Amino acid sequence: LGDPEYTLLDGIVAKARADGDTNWASVDSVIEHTAPIQPGNSGGPLIDENGQVVGINYAGGDLGGTGTSQFFAIGGDLALPTVEILKNGDYLSLGVNGQAVVDDSIGLAGIFVSSVDTNSPAGTLGLQPGDIIEDLEGLPMATDGTMKDYCDVLQSHAPTDKLRVDVLRFDENLSLRGEFNGRPLSPVESIVDQLPGEESTPQVAAGSAYTDYMTVTDDTGRIQVSVPTDWDDLDPTPNTADDGSFVAPELVAAPDVDGFLSTFDVPGVDIVAWDPDPTLTLADWMNGENGAMSLDSLCDPAGIEDYDDGYFTGLIGYWTGCGGTDTEIVAIASAPPDDSLVVTVLAQLLTQADFDALDHIIASFTAIAGGTTTTAPTTDAGTGYTDYVTITDDTGRLTIDVPVEWEAVTTVPATDVEGNFVAPYIAAAPDLEDLFGTYDTPGVEFMAFEPDPGLTLTDWLDMVISDTGVASSCIADDVEPYDDGVYTGLTQRWTDCAGTPTQYVIIVAEPGDGSVITVLGVQLVTPADQDALDRIIASFTAN
């Protein structure tokens, strides 16, 4: 078990909840302290003045390259649940030993694979040391230089889930695509290789290459894609009927959206995620009123053939000489393996650089069926929360971390109409009146109830839905299982609240001993609030 001799070094806690995201790890929060950690000390205990273990040391030194040493430990509140899981095997492991890398000079970001466990999903996938995981489940990896996005994807899926992955085999400059727990890696074809017609080589000028891309999302949060930064004119509003009613999520990106939609002089892309219609085939979607039926009269049709990008399958159409110009158009109608939606993509292409951009778009876009989206709201991005405060209710039974900006707080217990105690309660928001009365303000409500043997978790969820009134104002996603490693139960996300992009997330869960029923309701107005939700989930406790 190692050397029985030990070294005791003293220090103080510099920060109780420091950022735990680095280029080689992602922990919800860590304890920053001043007791020097040496190589080989990882896994050693951090103890308080009473000799009680409060954390596990795991990192130290000049981690940020600033010339100042910092030392970190994983707190017991995070470590203990993980230890219990590790007793039964690996935890959130795909069999990859890697770290985040970013090189802005060549536009590279991803998870560099140092080694692979042959007997793992990564080994079966065909991943090799030296590969770079660029994209996982449609999410670009390591753009911030940390493992956060990679670990977040793993934490939001079961170990056996299929995960779509895009990989760069750097030494061969080869792009690969496959699925963990699914299809092995295979080379990614250029869209040009799938164009219909015998003479399917684009007859367009080379154009100036696009070097920078940005990720954009539609207003419902159900379509996400990476487009050239030059295509910075966006229309993320939904597709609507003549009476203005919602039809489907839609996202248009171009240097000039009006020019893209009304002329053949501007490149761009239009993506729509339709609910499936059992009466329509993909050929109907391609040729019908929602498809490319008008192009034959405006362009020279090259044909329509089968399409397969390794995940979405369907049909691809190709038109040239549009409007008497050299502009070419590619249209795709496709569906994922579960046929949960139909995605149509129409791209207007003036140069070879635009075709290269279309390759990037096809490789990056994700579309989620209605009722299953877990994407954060996508209005203004919001200001990221950097500081959090721990709140305890008046009974001392609830604790939770919230952004310091949510400074309007109540910790008074919930009572019935006669003033009798019902449950411990915390609410926090920038403005509590706005939280309770509108969908314009983010915030959280947190309660804990004594378990009732006559009620299931579904019953508790139904009661919360009734009490909050979300069913009359928002669109329901599917009810899904909830498991954060300590609490298990049910969660449901409600979207488009009162016709806004605001979302409301409900969690009803209990610990392993079933000693308490916890209820969380979190209102999300911007993507920054999704980060706050992640922190809330990682920090809340009830007894």
Identify the pLDDT of residue 2. Answer: 52
Estimate to the nearest angstrom the gap between the alpha carbon of 519 and the chain centroid: 23
**What are φ and ψ of residue 64, in 5° steps?**
-95, 0
Q: In the sheet where 268-274 sits, what is the strand order?
A: 233-235, 250-254, 268-274, 342-349, 328-335, 313-320, 300-308
Strand partners, 272: 250, 344
Convert 209-226 to b/e letters by CB count within 10 Å (16 or more is b). ebeebeebbbbbbbbbbb
436-469 pLDDT, tens digit each: 888 889 999 999 999 998 999 999 999 999 888 8
Identify the pLDDT of residue 60. Answer: 79
> Scanning the structure block, which residue is given the tokens 């406790």?
541
Identify the pLDDT of residue 375. Answer: 39
8 A C-beta contact, residue 442 and residue 407? no
Strand partners, 166: 135, 177
| Sequential DSSP letters for 182-219 | SSPPEEPPPGGGG--SSS-S--SB--PPP--EEEEE-T
How many whole angstroms separate alpha carbon 97 and alpha carbon 122? Answer: 10
Cα angle: 453, vertex 455, 460; to 5 degrees:
135
Going along the chain from its start, the domains and CATH numbers come out as: 13-86 (2.40.10.10), 96-187 (2.30.42.10), 200-367 (3.40.1000.10), 388-542 (3.40.1000.10)
Structure tokens at 228: 């050239």
Strand partners, 221: none
Quickly count: other Cβ atoms within 10 Å of residue 403's Cβ.
Answer: 25
Identify the pLDDT of residue 467. Answer: 87
How many whole angstroms separate alpha carbon 259 and alpha carbon 521? Answer: 43
What residues contact 119, with CB distance under 8 A and at least 6 apart?
A: 95
Identify the pLDDT of residue 383. Answer: 56
Give the gyration radius of the chain's Cα atoms.
26
Identify the pLDDT of residue 489. Answer: 93
**What stretches of 188-267 adopt beta strand conformation (E)?**
213-217, 223-228, 233-235, 239-240, 246-248, 250-254
What residues contact 89, with CB distance under 8 A and at least 6 apart?
A: none
Question: Parallel, antiparallel, or unpaired for β 139-140 and 163-169?
Answer: unpaired
Listed residue (82, 167, 63, 155) closest to 116, CA to CA = 167
8 A C-beta contact, residue 171 and residue 155? no
Strand partners, 389: 402
Where the chain has pLDDT below 70, the residues are 1-5, 62-67, 90-92, 138, 198-200, 288-293, 370-384
**Which uninterrupted H or E stretch holds 357?**
helix 352-364
Average pLDDT, the chain: 86
33-71 pLDDT, tens digit each: 899 887 778 888 999 888 899 999 988 776 655 667 788
User: What is the DSSP secondary structure assignment for residue 198, as one 8-state letter?
Assistant: S
8 A C-beta contact, residue 151 and residue 26? yes
**Which uninterrupted H or E stretch holds 325?**
none
Identify the pLDDT of residue 432. Answer: 92
8 A C-beta contact, residue 373 and residue 493? yes
For 13, what's the count of Cα atoms within 13 Å in the CB-facing half-sphere?
15
Q: In the sheet where 398-403 sits, what is the strand order?
A: 388-392, 398-403, 541-542
What single letter denotes the amino acid at residue 441? T
For 502, what's the count of Cα atoms within 13 Å in the CB-facing half-sphere?
18
Identify the pLDDT of residue 372. Answer: 35
Helices (H), 110-173: 121-125, 148-155
Structure tokens at 290: 């929602």
8 A C-beta contact, residue 134 and residue 167? yes
User: What is the DSSP secondary structure assignment for residue 302, as one 8-state letter?
Assistant: E
